[in-house]
């Protein structure tokens, strides 16, 4: 039997608010629809006029929901869960029959997910590697053993067969404690940490009321995961007589690999990354302390200043320890150069 809600333009769903319903329409509706649709996607659908009540179109995501309200929402047809190959250029550092190492550019999402079903690294890898990635690590994440945020650049390794996937996954799960895996990042942060080298040992979990943000948690909190970052200040920009600096280039080595770990940890000690609108938005006005040219460069920098410059791991077949490094990308190098400019 055909789905009575299915129409040529999409799928029409009817949602009725129960006696406990409250809050904004976009938030409530996101909870009703489940993980397939993000709040931002639901908000966009409301603004596009895809939601109605009693035949009247609603376009205000902030409308308050009342018990008994019945809403209709026209959802787009579900996407095919199997990613397709796309001819997206890859910066390949190394490749053999077992794995491929690439330098990921800013703006490239690693694997398909809500809001980014195409144009991802996975789509590029499927096109480049063909059927060899099929089924390794799941339908939507074939070959993926670790990932970088969309706007983080740097070295990544991808498995090309099951043996490599299992072996590399074990190394990343071990975090280099007993295996040779090592990951290092370079970041440009506001200010200068009090000590030039240090360790941030602060458990992380989901931020309250936001399923995408992470926050430092008490160790006894139910969702708190161990998170340890070692850092070293490499360069200080606009250093003052009291040893403070306007900004710093730091190197971070991960002992654990939590989502947004470096971004949250550096913000936690008072030194968020430049360009980080999620964890460092309150520091944006510090750019006003810079010379005009540097201020313009900082304000135009459209991502968090984070680069995964080094990755080391054991080859799953040969046992060889493989080491890869890539220099700062052009946009971060320009940012660093701008910060090196003297005050007027």
- Asked if 26 is an active-site residue, the reply is no
Q: Which of 10, 327, 297, 332 is nearest to 154 (CA)?
A: 327
d(CA 111, CA 117): 8
Can you tell me which residue has the tokens 């390949």? 92
The SS3 assignment for 53 reads strand
Give the H or E element holding residue 30: helix 25-33
d(CA 299, CA 78): 38
- For residue 32, the tally of other CB atoms under 10 A from its CB is 17
* Helix and strand counts by DSSP (H, E) for the chain: 7, 16
Pairing outcome for strands 228-239 and 306-314: unpaired
Contact status, residue 148 vs residue 159, Cβ threshold 8 Å: no
Residue of 26, 98, 149, 331 marked active site: 149
Distance, C-alpha 39 to centroid of its chain: 17
Residues 6+ apart with CB under 8 A from 27: 39
The SS3 assignment for 140 reads coil
d(CA 35, CA 342): 49
Contact status, residue 265 vs residue 227, Cβ threshold 8 Å: yes
Contact status, residue 158 vs residue 143, Cβ threshold 8 Å: yes
Largest CA distance in the chain: 77
Structure tokens belonging to residue 296: 């313009």
d(CA 145, CA 159): 7
Structure tokens belonging to residue 82: 């199997």
Positions marked catalytic: 149
């Amino acid at each position: 039997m055909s789905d009575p809600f299915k129409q040529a333009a999409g799928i029409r769903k009817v949602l009725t608010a129960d006696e406990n319903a409250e809050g904004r329409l976009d938030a409530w509706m996101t909870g009703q629809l489940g993980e397939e649709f993000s709040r931002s996607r639901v908000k966009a659908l409301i603004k596009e006029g895809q939601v109605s009540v009693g035949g009247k179109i609603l376009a205000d995501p902030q409308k308050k929901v009342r018990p008994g309200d019945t809403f209709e929402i026209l959802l787009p047809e579900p996407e095919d869960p199997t990613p397709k190959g796309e001819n997206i250029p890859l910066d390949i550092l190394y490749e053999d029959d077992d794995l491929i190492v690439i330098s990921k550019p800013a703006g490239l999402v690693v694997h398909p997910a809500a809001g980014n079903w195409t144009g991802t690294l996975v789509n590029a890898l499927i096109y480049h590697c063909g059927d060899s990635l099929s089924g390794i690590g799941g339908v939507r994440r074939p070959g993926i053993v670790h990932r970088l945020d969309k706007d983080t650049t740097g070295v990544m390794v991808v498995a090309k067969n099951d043996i490599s996937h299992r072996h590399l996954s074990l190394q990343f799960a071990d975090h280099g404690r007993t295996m040779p895996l090592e990951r290092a990042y370079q970041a440009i942060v506001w200010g200068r940490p009090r000590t030039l080298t240090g360790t941030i040992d602060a458990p992380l979990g989901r931020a309250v009321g936001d399923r995408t943000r992470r926050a430092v948690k008490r160790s006894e909190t139910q969702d708190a995961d161990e998170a340890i970052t070692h850092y070293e200040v490499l360069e200080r920009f606009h250093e003052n007589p009291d040893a403070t600096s306007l900004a710093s280039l730091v190197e971070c080595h991960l002992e654990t690999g939590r989502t947004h770990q470096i971004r949250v940890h550096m913000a936690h000690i008072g030194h968020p990354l430049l360009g980080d609108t999620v964890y460092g938005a309150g520091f944006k006005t510090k750019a006003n302390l810079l010379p005009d040219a540097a201020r313009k460069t900082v304000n135009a920098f459209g991502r968090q200043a984070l680069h995964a410059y080094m990755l080391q791991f054991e080859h799953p077949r040969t046992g060889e320890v493989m080491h890869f490094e890539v220099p700062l990308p052009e946009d971060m190098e320009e940012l660093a150069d701008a910060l090196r400019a003297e005050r007027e």
